[in-house]
Amino acid sequence: MDRQKLQRIGVTAASSVAAVLFALVICGIILLLTGRSPSHVYQTMWDAAGERRIQYDAIQRATPLMFAGCAVALGFKMNLFNIGVEGQYRIAALVTAIVGTRIGFLPAPLHVAVELAVACICGAAWAGIAAFMKVRRGVNEVIATIMLNAIAISLAAWLFNTYFRYTQGNSQNVTTRPIPRSGWMPDIVKDQLNGFFIVALLVVFAYWIVVFKSRFGFRLRASGHNDVAAKTSGISSKRMIVTALLLSGAVAGFIGMQQTLGDSHAYSSQGFVDGIGFLGIAVALLGRNHPIGIVLSALLFGLLAASATKLGLIKVPQEIVQIIEGVIVLSVVIVNEASGRWVDKRTQQRAAHAVEHHLTQQGVTA
C-alpha cells in the first residue's frame, strides 16, 4: 500500500473520529448549560455499553442501520441522494408481510428466501419510480424521493388500515395476519439477537464486492465522479442512474425485515422506529461510504440509542442522544468538507511540485 493511500485512509478515519468528538464536546456544553455533569452522563453511557444486554440491544438497533447505510451509500457512489429509503422499506415490509402469510406451505429456508426476494423487489420497484422520473423527465432525485416517502408511508397506512388489519382476540396489538413460523428469521441469541445481523454483514460484504471490486462498481464510481468523462468512455449515465437507484432500493427493502420477520412476525405501522432511513444518511456520511465505516457507524448509533435507556436512572432525558446524533451529522458534514478541501489542496500542491520537478529535470538535461 503506497504512502498516499495510507494518508487518505488516515485522513478519512481521523475526520470521522473528529466529528464524533466534536459532537460530544458540543453536547457536553449543552449539558453544562442545563445544569448537568457531562462526565457523569458520558460515564453512565460508557458503563451501560459494557453490559451484555445493552450490547445485544445495540447490535439489534445497528442491524437496520447497516442496511440503510449501504442503501444510501450506493446512491452516493453515483452522486445520487436517495432520500426515499424510509418509504421504500415501508412498502417492502407491508408487501412482504402480506406475501409471507400466503406462502406458509413452503419449507422454512425457502419461505424466508422468498420473503427476502419480495422485499428486494418491492424496494427496488419503489425506487424505480424516482429513477424513471430522473432519466425520462429530469426530475431531481431528492425531490422525487422525498415526495415518494410521503406517498409510500400514507399508502402503506391506508392499505394496512383498510384491507389488512388483524387483531388476535382482545389484544391491543394491531398487525397484519401473523406470518407462519416457517417464515421467521431465527435468533442467534434467543430473544436478544436476531439472525438478520448476519444478513446485514453479508449485505455489507456484497456492497464492498460490487462497488469496490467489480467492473460495474468501477463504472458506477467513475460515472458518479465525472459524468462527462464517463460518457466519453462509453458508460451510459442514464443506465447507471437507474441501476444505482434500483440497487439502493433493493437494499432498502431489507431495513424493515428484522422487525417484520424477526420480532413481530407481522407488519405493524407502530412497530418501526421513525427516521431509520434518515439515520442511514448519517451512517453513510460518518462511515464515508466505506463498508467498514458503515458497520462501525451503525454500531456507534446503535450503542448510543441502547445506552440511552440508562439515562433515565440519573434523571437525564433520553433525547440527549438524539441531540448527539444530530450534532454528529452536522459535524460530519463540516469536518468532511474541511478535510476534503485540505486533501484537494495537498493534491494540487503535490501535482504542482511534480510538474515543477519534471520541468527542472527537462531543463537540466537540455
Q: Strands 193-194 and 187-189: what pairing?
A: antiparallel
* Global pTM value: 0.88
- Alpha-carbon Rg for the chain, nearest whole angstrom, is 23
Q: Residue 310: its pLDDT value, please? A: 83
pLDDT at 249 over 50: yes
Per the structure block, which three cell numbers stand in for 141?
432525485
Rounded to 5°, the CA angle 214-62-204 comes to 10
Q: Residue 116: its pLDDT value, please? A: 96
Q: Describe the crossing of helices 291-307 and 276-286 by its angle, rounded to 10 degrees.
A: 130
Locate the domains of the chain by residue range: 66-290
Q: Residue 365: its pLDDT value, please? A: 47
pLDDT in tens, 49-75: 888 999 999 999 999 999 999 999 999
Percent of all residues in the chain with a pLDDT value above 90, rounded to a whole number? 41
pLDDT in tens, 266-308: 998 777 777 888 889 889 988 888 999 999 999 999 998 888 8
Q: Residue 2: its pLDDT value, please? A: 59
What residue type is 120 in one-letter code?
C
- Whole-number Å distance between alpha carbons of 150 and 87: 7
Q: Spell out the residues 6+ positions from residue 350 whose beta carbon is closer than 8 angstroms to its own.
A: none
- Model confidence at 357, pLDDT cuts 50, 70, 90, reads low
Assign residue 363 a region (left: φ > 0; alpha: ψ between -120 and 50; beta: otherwise): alpha
Beta bridge partners, 193, equal: 189
Q: Hunting for cell 422454512 — which residue is that?
A: 108
Average per-residue pLDDT for the chain? 85
Highest mean pLDDT among 38-42, 317-321, 335-339: 38-42
pLDDT at 144 over 90: yes
Q: Residue 270: its pLDDT value, please? A: 73
- HSE-up of residue 232 (Cα within 13 Å, Cβ side): 3
pLDDT at 359 over 70: no
Q: Could you tell me how far CA 34 lies from the centroid of its own chain?
A: 32
Question: For 175, phi and psi rounded to 5 degrees?
Answer: -140, -175
pLDDT in tens, 184-233: 999 898 888 999 999 999 999 999 999 999 988 888 888 877 777 777 77
Q: Residue 143: its pLDDT value, please? A: 92
Contact 27, 324 (CB under 8 A): yes
